[in-house]
A and B are shown apart, each in its own frame.
Chain A
Amino acid sequence: MILKAPLSEEEVRSLRVGQQVSVDGTVFIGRDEVHMRALELHGQGKLLPVDLEDGILYHCGPIVKRDSKGWKVIAAGPTTSARMNALEPDFIREFGIRAIIGKGGMSRPTVEAMREHGCVYLAFTGGAAVLAAQGISRVRGVEWLDLGMPEALWIVEAKGLGPLTVAIDAHGNSLYEMVEERVQESLPAVRLRLGL
C-alpha cells in the first residue's frame, strides 16, 4: 500500500499495526535539533519556514552531498526515535503531522498523542540507508543548515520510500509494546537457560 503525502486523518486511521506500506510525496526530515527549534519558535509565537500540517516527518540525519546540480541524498536511514520521546507529543499536537518514520518505536505519551490526533508511526529498518536514499527522488530544500548536516530540516520528495511497517497505529496500538510484553514473558525461560 502506498501512502501519498499530505495525509488525511481518515487515511491514517484506516491503518493497523503490522501493515506494510511505502511513502510518496513530500517528507520532512528532522530529528533532535529540529524538534527543539521548532517548538522553541512556536513557543515564541513565530512561524516555521515550512507548513508541517498533515505532513510526514522522518527521524533521520542524512548524508547529503552538494554538486553543481544541487543537493543529493547519499544515505538516509532512520535514527533512534526514542530520543525524541519527550518532545514528540507536543510536536504532533502543535504542528499536526500525520505520520512519523523512524526506528525503535516511541513511548506511551507519543502513542497517546498519535491516538488523539490521528497519526501513525512507520518503522523503517535501521541502517537501511542506501535503500532509503533510493526512495528519495530529490531534495526540495533545506532549512536551518546552521544546525549541521545531520540536524538540519531537509524537505525531500519521496518515491516508493520503504518498505515501512505500521508499528504504532492511530488507535493506541504499539507493536513495540506487544513485543515487549512477549519479551517479559520469555524472561523466566531465558534465565533458566543461563542457569540463573
Chain B
Amino acid sequence: MATMVGNLIEEVVVQLLRDAVTTLPPDVVQALRRAESRETSEVARSQLRTILDNIDAADRLAVPMCQDTGVHVFYVTGPVDASVEESIRSGVARATEEIPLRPNAVHPLTRENPGTNVAVGLPHIVHYPTDDEFLEITVLPKGAGSENMTALAMLSPADGISGVKRFILDTVVRAGGRPCPPTIVGVGIGGTSDLAVSLAKEALLRPLDLPNIDPELAALEDQLTEALNLTGIGPMGLGGDTTVLGVRVSTAYCHTASLPVAVNLQCWAARRATARIYPDGRVRFGRSPFDP
C-alpha cells in the first residue's frame, strides 16, 4: 500500500504541517479562552489576549502562528515500509519551502543548516506497526523553548508518588517563563530512561478535553494541574493564575529497582494534526490520534 500512495503521503504530510502550524486544535483554543476569562491578573490577561489575537491572525492569514515551527516528530501506525519514511521526509522538505517553515534542523556541533528540516535523525519518526488497513500519521511540531526544559529523573522506588510529584513541581518551577507558559505538562512514568522521555512527549497527543482512561491517573492529572496553577508563574512567567493548561500522564512498567520519571513541556502553541490514509486513497484529517 505504502508504495502505491507515496505521493499521497507526501501531500498529506504537507497538509498536516500546514494545519498544525497555522491553526490550533479546538481543545487548546478553548482552554486558552477559558484561562483568559478566569485570570485575575491584568498582566496575565493581556498576555493571554495577545496569544488569542495571534491565533486568530495566523488562522486568518494562513501563516505559522509562531516563528519557531519546531522540529518535527511523527507518529505512524498501520502498514509501514521504508517508503513511508521517504515520503514523510520529502513532505517535510516541501512544507518547509511552501508554507514556509523555519529551517530549524542543524548539525549539533558544526551548527550547519541544510535549510530543509530534513537531515540525519530529523524529522523524528516513531513507528507502531498495527494490523489496521489504514495508515495513520500524526505530526507534533516541537519548538525549542519548551523542549529545552525537558527533564528526566531516575528516582528510587522508595521515592514513590511523592517523589514523582515533587520532581514535576520542581521542573515546572525551574522552567519558569522560558517554555512559553501556559504549558501542557507531558509526564512519562516508568519504562527505561529513554522510554520515559518518549512517553512524556507522546502523552502530549491526548487532547485537553479527553480525560485519562485510568481514573487514578486522571485524578493525579487534575491534582497536578490545580497545584501547578497555584505557583503563580503565570502566562510567560509574568505572574498569574494560569501556568499550565493541563497535565498528561502516561505510564509503562519498569525495572523493580527503578522509578524513571520524565517531563516534557509543551508551549501554549500545542500544535498537532493527524490523518488517516485508506487503501482506496481516501484521507481523513483530525487533530489527534484520538479523533480521526
Q: A residues engaging B (CB < 8 A)? A: 18, 20, 33, 60-63, 65, 74-77, 79-80, 82, 103-105, 123, 125-134, 148-151, 163, 165, 167, 175-176, 178-180, 182-183, 186-187, 189-191, 193-196
A-B contact pairs, 24 of them (CB 8 A): A20-B46, A61-B67, A61-B68, A63-B67, A74-B63, A74-B100, A75-B65, A76-B67, A80-B178, A103-B145, A123-B238, A130-B58, A133-B63, A148-B106, A150-B67, A150-B103, A163-B46, A167-B238, A179-B234, A186-B231, A190-B228, A194-B166, A194-B223, A194-B227
Give the A-B pair count, Cβ closer than 8 A.
178
- Complex contact A183–B177 (CB within 8 A): no
B66 in complex: contacting residue of A20, A75, A105, A165, CB < 8 Å: A75
- Complex contact B269–A165 (CB within 8 A): no
The CA-CA distance from A104 to B174 in the complex, in Å, is 12
- Complex contact B176–A195 (CB within 8 A): no
- Complex contact B180–A63 (CB within 8 A): no
Total number of B residues with any Cβ neighbor in A under 8 Å: 57
In this complex, what residue of A is CB-closest to B46?
A: A163
Q: B residues engaging A (CB < 8 A)? A: 43, 46-47, 50-51, 53-54, 57-58, 61, 63-69, 100-104, 106, 111, 113, 115, 143-145, 148, 162, 165-166, 169, 173, 176-178, 180, 223-224, 226-228, 230-239, 267-269
Given A148-B106, A176-B176, do A63 and B101 touch, yes or no (CB 8 Å)? yes
The CA-CA distance from A60 to B180 in the complex, in Å, is 14
The CA-CA distance from A132 to B63 in the complex, in Å, is 12
- Complex contact B61–A187 (CB within 8 A): no
Min Cβ gap A157→B in Å is 18
The CA-CA distance from A149 to B239 in the complex, in Å, is 33
